[in-house]
Amino acid sequence: MVFLKKKKELFLFLALIMVHLIFISFQLPGGTEISYMERAVFFVYSPIQNLAHKVIQGISASWENYFDLRGVREENQRLKKELFFHFQEIRFLEEQLKFYTSEKFIKENFSRFRNSLIPARIIGSDPVNIYQSITIDKGSLDGIRKNMIVCDKFGNLVGRVMGPVSLKESKIKLITDSTSGVHVISRKSGVVGLLVGKSDYLAELKYALSSGPELQKDEELLTTGYDGIYQPGISVGKILSSFQDTNMPVFQKIIVRPNFQFSKLDIVAVIPSLTEETIK
């Protein structure tokens, strides 16, 4: 008993180490399910992150409002012009679509798409690897659910909601994360494969057969929807290089540069996943 009292500190320390090892072992080898502990920590601390972001936003907004009004008029004119062209493009695309489907169907689909889209702001990046995940300021109260798709403001795929989803915050798994997988097809040559992140600013297209058509540099990749999560036709990235995989000669080794730009990522659009659309 005296020995235990003397070594109390050491036993407490060893107990804590054991707890961590148990946490880690539960997640291996897959690491897919999020533990209640992780959810709880995220739930408690994510509002602080949101608050910090709002403080920064407030300060920078005041700075812009009071001190940096120069150029606003110019920017306004430019945005109006851009908006005009975007409206024209949408109208043109709507007209083109009418050749394939009825006007009623298009209108219904467009309004449904607008209603289901949730704009969100990025409030935090991953403390371990910037290319793994991000935190957004929308949560379950705003209608965010696990596996919803996240795109940047230009419609390029960024990732999906992986959870934990808190009341007003959620964590997003980026397509550049090494545990992320997106089924894609190349726009020109029709090569299909699985896009897997490299946990840096690039991704890799896996399982594209060497016997298939050769991919050209800058060829665009789009989602196929075969993975059951990402809706088809979303722009993902461009081919950076392709060569024969020496380890697995059956497949090509293809490096892809994702279309979304991490440093310019501020506002994202969260849209329902394919499974949710199918259920509807």
Partner 1 sequence: MRSRFLLDVFLAVVALSISFFLYSILDNLVWYGIYVVNLFSVIVVVLAIKEGAVFGAFLGTACGLIQDAFSGGIFGISGLTKTILGYSVGRISRFIDISTGYRKVVFIFLLSSGELVLWIVLSAFIRGQKVFLADGIVVLQPAVTSVISSVILALEHRLSLRRS
Nearer of residues 123 and 205 to partner 1, judged by Cβ = 123
Contact with partner 1 (CB under 8 A) among 7, 55, 81, 243: 55
Instruction: Give the nearest distance from C-beta 162 to partner 1 in angstroms.
Output: 7
Block residue for tokens 């089924």? 183
Among 172, 185, 179, CA closest to 260: 172
Told to check if 174 binds partner 1 by CB under 8 A, we report yes
Enumerate the β-bridge partners of residue 232.
Answer: none
Rounded Cα distance, 249 and 220, in Å: 24
- Positive or negative, the CA dihedral 154, 157, 159, 160 is positive
Told to check if 53 binds partner 1 by CB under 8 A, we report yes
Instruction: Give the nearest distance from C-beta 136 to partner 1 in angstroms.
Output: 12
Contact (Cβ atoms closer than 8 angstroms) between residue 271 and residue 140: no
The encoded tokens of residue 200 equal 């840096």
Position 204, amino acid: E
For partner 1, the binding residues in 104-163 under the rule CB under 8 A are 123-133, 135, 162
Rounded Cα distance, 135 and 173, in Å: 9
In terms of DSSP bridges, do strands 170-174 and 220-223 run parallel, antiparallel, or are they unpaired? Answer: unpaired
Query: Interior CA angle at 264 toward 52 and 80, to 5°?
Result: 105
Nearer of residues 12 and 83 to partner 1, judged by Cβ = 12
For partner 1, the binding residues in 186-205 under the rule CB under 8 A are 199-200
Contact with partner 1 (CB under 8 A) among 65, 76, 179, 275: 179
Instruction: Give the nearest distance from C-beta 237 to partner 1 in angstroms.
Output: 19
For partner 1, the binding residues in 13-42 under the rule CB under 8 A are 13, 16-17, 19-21, 23-24, 27-28, 31, 34-35, 37-38, 41-42
Radius of gyration of the chain (CA): 23
Residues that bind partner 1 (CB under 8 A): 9, 12-13, 16-17, 19-21, 23-24, 27-28, 31, 34-35, 37-38, 41-42, 45-46, 48-49, 51-53, 55-56, 123-133, 135, 162, 164, 171, 173-174, 177-179, 199-200, 263
